[in-house]
Amino acid sequence: MAILSLIKTPDEFLRKKSKKVEEFDARLGLLLDDMSETLKKAHDGIGLAAVQVGFLKRLFIVDYGGEYIEFINPEILEHSENKLNYEACLSVTGREGYVKRPRKVTVKWQDRFGEFHERQFKGYISYVIGHEFDHIEGVLFIDKLVEKPKKNVTEAEAE
């Protein structure tokens, strides 16, 4: 496995929309393995999209409590109301902030073998999935930043 180089802003490659994965072969498996290794190396990262490492493929991985879930050709089927979440990104250095994202999502995706899965995710992982899904659409979290709430204001009040 290899550590892949991260593409960082202001590189416009991050703004490109990714293409559907058609071939589920050994090369795809190698890319996923390399992305997992890259994410492990980036100690503060919990999600990584293929576009962030130079591949315009509709796929991303997330660290779900030590288990890496590989989302290939993901579709968000349902989502709940939005909640503020504090975000940063491995491809956007020096910027952090609040973004409104669904606190619950139902996702349909394929795994590295092309098998379909569908599952509902709640809480923090739903925010990570939303963040990574935006990457494959060519959208960065900095495009969605909202004003930081004042001290002692709950997230619900800030919405």
Catalytic positions are: 132
123: alpha, beta or left, given left = phi > 0 and alpha = psi -120 to 50?
left
Q: Are 132 and 1 in contact (CB under 8 A)?
A: no
For 137, half-sphere exposure in the C-beta direction (CA atoms, 13 angstrom radius) is 13
Contact partners, residue 149, CB within 8 Å, separation at least 6: 84, 98, 155, 157, 158
Contact 107, 116 (CB under 8 A): no
At 110, give phi and psi (nearest 5°): -110, 155
Distance CA 72, CA 95 (A): 28
